[in-house]
């Protein structure tokens, strides 16, 4: 390099890419959120195969048929743990958890697909297992919001349901959840 | 039907990038209020410096000081800046060729109003108060 060059240190550029979205919910998600705030979990039931999608998609991707408000179907706020992970958090950017926490998939009674990423309370981590029966712990009505629900697929319940707690019921039969384990 | 809900969400990706001798040299120069280009195989000075010759692919390593003043080539006026823009009031994005350079660099020109902008106008750099190893250590350009 010529004499004009000065740097011998290895410079590092810290660059935070931040993308903010503001989106109007689709009519289907509007109804989904209205129901959540009301303490109900609704999806769409395919008129052809009977699969229940929560939230509704407006179509059944298996049968390729449209689903509408007429196909709205309320599922239970009780369900079965199909699988789970105990995550020991590392302090990466944005991670707010500091202690090991549960990330469980819950198959709500009446739904055809898991609700992912749910906390399970009322049971020690080493007692968690697939098949456990759980029920939603709802936030107080005045604290329920649409936050976290988006048109991009991850219709969440985190803004209305804090966690799922063990009901104390006997475990579900394996046939209930064996097709829903990742 | 009532107005649909509008939900807000933000995705963030924190990058930490090791800059190497060429881009690192350029940003180290900005920290000292100097603008560095790099000499290509055919003798031209490229600003900002490239690590490889665009024509031959050869590794380049001869950093050359240019500027500090420069000349505006084409430009466009930004009447309503968004929070992502480099300035919080109307400004121009322009192609600026620093004196001694053979290429132009894209940057902001804080001219105050569109009437002050013209192709061929002379500009000088305005430096950021505290360097942070980003292109906006050269905060913007202003009429010279």
For the beta sheet containing B35-39, the strands, ordered from the edge strand earlier in sequence to the opposite edge, are B45-46, B35-39, B63-66
Residue B128 has pLDDT above 50, yes or no: yes
Instruction: Evaluate whether residue A45 is within a structural domain.
Output: yes
Chain A residues within 8 A of B13 when measuring between CB atoms:
16-18
Instruction: Evaluate whether residue A44 is within a structural domain.
Output: yes
Mean pLDDT of chain A: 90
Predicted pLDDT at A145: 85
Residue B130 has pLDDT above 50, yes or no: yes
CB B102 within 8 A of CB B45: yes
User: Any chain B CB within 8 A of the CB of A5?
Assistant: yes
Predicted pLDDT at A31: 93
Average pLDDT over residues A87-108: 93
Residue B5 tokens read as 């809900």
Residue A16 has pLDDT above 60, yes or no: yes
Instruction: Evaluate whether residue A111 is within a structural domain.
Output: yes
Average pLDDT over residues A129-150: 91
**Which residues form the domain of A54?**
27-180
Instruction: Evaluate whether residue A17 is within a structural domain.
Output: no
Helix ranges (H only) for B1-144 are: 20-31
Identify the closest residue of chain B to A34 by CA–CA distance: B5
- Each domain of chain B, given as residue ranges in start order, spans 20-143
Residue B25 has pLDDT above 60, yes or no: yes
More confident residue, A3 or A42: A42
Instruction: Evaluate whether residue A71 is within a structural domain.
Output: yes
Residue A170 tokens read as 């006997």
Instruction: Give me the percent of chain A exceeding a pLDDT of 90.
Output: 75
Q: Which of A26-30, A43-47, B34-38 has the lowest mean pLDDT?
A: A26-30
Average pLDDT over residues A98-116: 94
Count up the domains in chain A and report the number. Answer: 1
For B:95-134, CB contacts with A below 8 A are: 132-134
Return the residue in B9, B34, B35, B132 with the most chain A beta carbons within 10 A, the one to mutate for interface testing. Answer: B9
According to DSSP, residue A141 is labeled G
Identify the closest residue of chain A to B134 by CA–CA distance: A13
In this complex, how many residue pairs, one in chain A and one in chain B, have their CB atoms less than 8 Å apart?
111
CB contact under 8 A, A21 and B10: yes
> How large is the ipTM?
0.71
Strand boundaries in B19-132, DSSP class E: 35-39, 45-46, 63-66, 70-78, 91-98, 105-109, 122-127
pLDDT tier, A8 (very low <50, low <70, confident <90, very high otherwise): low
For A:109-148, CB contacts with B below 8 A are: 146-148
Q: Which of A31-45, A110-124, B5-19, B28-42 has the lowest mean pLDDT?
A: B5-19
| Gap from A170 CA to chain B (nearest CA, Å) | 39
Chain A residues within 8 A of B24 when measuring between CB atoms:
7, 9-11
Residue A1 has pLDDT above 50, yes or no: no
Q: Which of A10-14, A102-106, A116-120 has the lowest mean pLDDT?
A: A10-14
CB contact under 8 A, B61 and A30: no
Instruction: Evaluate whether residue A125 is within a structural domain.
Output: yes
Q: Of B18, B23, B32, which is closest to A6 when you measure between CB atoms?
A: B32
Enumerate the β-bridge partners of residue B71.
B97, B122
* Of B69, B87, B67, the residue nearest B77 (C-alpha): B87
Average pLDDT over residues A2-20: 74
């Amino acid at each position: 390099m010529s004499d004009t060059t000065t740097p011998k240190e290895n410079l590092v550029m810290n660059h935070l890419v931040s993308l903010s979205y503001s989106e109007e919910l689709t009519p289907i998600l509007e109804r989904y959120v209205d129901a959540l705030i009301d303490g109900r979990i609704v999806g769409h039931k395919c008129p052809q195969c009977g699969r229940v999608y929560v939230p509704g998609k407006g179509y059944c991707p298996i049968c390729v048929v449209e689903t509408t408000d007429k196909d709205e179907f309320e599922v239970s706020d009780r369900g079965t743990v199909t699988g789970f992970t105990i995550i020991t958090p590392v302090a990466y950017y944005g991670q707010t958890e500091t202690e090991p926490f549960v990330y469980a998939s819950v198959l709500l009674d009446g739904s055809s697909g898991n609700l992912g990423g749910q906390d399970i309370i009322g049971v020690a981590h080493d007692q968690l297992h697939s098949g456990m029966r759980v029920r939603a712990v709802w936030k107080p009505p005045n604290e329920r919001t649409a936050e976290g629900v988006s048109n991009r697929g991850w219709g969440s319940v985190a803004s209305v349901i804090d966690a799922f707690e063990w009901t104390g019921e006997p475990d579900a039969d394996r046939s209930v959840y064996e097709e829903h384990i990742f | 039907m009532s107005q649909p809900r509008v939900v807000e969400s933000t995705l963030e990706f924190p990058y930490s990038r090791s800059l190497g001798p060429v881009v690192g040299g350029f940003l180290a120069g900005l920290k000292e209020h100097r603008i560095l280009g790099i000499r290509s195989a055919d003798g031209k000075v490229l600003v900002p410096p490239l690590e490889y010759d665009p024509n031959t692919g050869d590794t380049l390593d001869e950093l050359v000081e240019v500027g500090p003043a420069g000349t505006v080539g084409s430009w466009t006026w930004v009447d309503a800046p968004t929070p992502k823009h480099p300035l919080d009031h109307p400004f121009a994005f322009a192609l600026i060729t620093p004196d001694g350079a053979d290429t132009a660099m894209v940057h902001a020109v804080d001219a105050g109003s569109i009437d002050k902008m013209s192709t061929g106008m002379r500009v000088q750099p305005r430096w950021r108060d505290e360097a942070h190893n980003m292109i906006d250590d050269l905060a913007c350009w202003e009429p010279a």
